[in-house]
Structure 1
Amino acid sequence: MSYKESINKIHTFEQAKNVSENWKSKGEKVVFTNGCFDLVHVGHVDYLEKARKLGDRLIVGLNTDNSVKRLKGDSRPVNNEMFRARILASMQFIDAVIFFDQDTPQELITEVLPNILVKGDDYKISEIVGAKEVIANGGKVQTIAFVEGYSSTKLIEKIKAL
């Protein structure tokens, strides 16, 4: 994949609906997940690969820098939003990365209305933001197990201890 191709996979919130509708109009099953993905590690890769296997296209909602700061504190993110988006977009199994500035992806999920909404298994389906809307639209909500022992927070703590 070339540089330009990965850049072309990064979209604004305003482009989200068109990206999703285009794929769904072709009969493709759209999967959506979201996160900060500040320091990408093997746990993220495993999770995202498993999410992509659930459908034909994978959209990743990515918290903007402002959103990450509100959720995780002033020392985060370690990497800026464009850096994080480029890393995600370069992964062959991710079809689109879409920024959202809110604390939750509720509005983005409502725009995208994926066929399958995915979160980690640390959530109950009843707690997943956007689940009601996806189910009401005929979609499914699924959880995926994390790889034990990996998190950006643990990685930051390990680096600080060095």
Structure 2
Amino acid sequence: MTRTQTRTRTVVAQGTFDLLHPGHVHYFEQAAAMGDRLVVIVARSSNVDHKEPPICDARQRRDVVDALEVVDEAILGHEEDIFVPIEEIEPDVIALGHDQHHDEEAIEAELEERGVDCDVRRVDGREPRYDGELLSTRLIVDRILERRD
């Protein structure tokens, strides 16, 4: 690389992204601000074991995330090993959502084991900007059930 060339700083965000909402957009915007290129890994339904299974198919969730201007590329996660896409992308930063269940130290240890050199950072959450704004898929589903009951 010459002095006039700069290396693209790649950031990875990841999650389920079922029923997109302003909290997801906030996460993507904060993650994108950490670098030059934002790649979002959308979890396969089979890998979502920490909460209720997604309502929407993984491909649909990926396509909706990919349509957002702030996202440079959205891909599906690996069926069995969530670190495979990370190894392929070789990001500079992994941006975790403020409320994601991931253990940063465990992620860093696994990255080191696999020889992936990147920072792991957590984005800030945000409060609703007006009464009734829903920043959680769970809250959206709860509201739908409440109104349809």
Deviation at 1:71, TM superposition (A): 4.3
Structure 2: stretches of 5+ with no match in the other structure = 128-133
TM-score by length of 2: 0.75
Q: Which residue of 2 aligns with 1:89?
A: 66
Provide Cα deviations, 1:55-89, integer angstroms capped at 9, x if missing partner: 11001111123333x4434xx32111222112111
RMSD over aligned Cα, in angstroms? 2.8
Q: Which amino acid aligns with 1:147?
A: R
Structure 1 residue corresponding to 2:9, chosen from 29, 34, 48: 29
Query: Which stretch of structure 1 is more off in the superposition, 145-154 or 123-132?
Result: 123-132
Deviation at 1:43, TM superposition (A): 0.3
Structure 1 residue corresponding to 2:122, chosen from 143, 150, 159: 143
1:133 aligns with 2:118: no
Structure 2 residue corresponding to 1:156, chosen from 127, 137, 141: 141
Structure 2 residue corresponding to 1:39, chosen from 5, 13, 19: 19
Deviation at 1:114, TM superposition (A): 0.4
Structure 1 residue corresponding to 2:89, chosen from 97, 112, 116: 112
Q: Separation in 1 of the partners of 2:94 and 2:64?
A: 22
Q: Separation in 2 of the partners of 1:139 and 1:56?
A: 15
Q: Which residue of 2 aligns with 1:72?
A: 51
Provide Cα deviations, 1:23-54, integer angstroms capped at 9, x if missing partner: xx972110001100001000000010110011
Q: Is the 8 A contact 2:111 2:117 kept in 1?
A: no
Q: Separation in 1 of the partners of 2:81 and 2:19?
A: 19
Q: Secondary structure at the match of 1:132?
A: helix
The structure with the larger Rg is 2
* Paired positions, count: 135
Deviation at 1:95, TM superposition (A): 1.0
Q: Separation in 2 of the partners of 1:107 and 1:152?
A: 26
Structure 1: stretches of 5+ with no match in the other structure = 1-24
TM-score by length of 1: 0.70
Q: Which amino acid aligns with 1:141?
A: V
Q: Which has the higher helix share?
A: 1
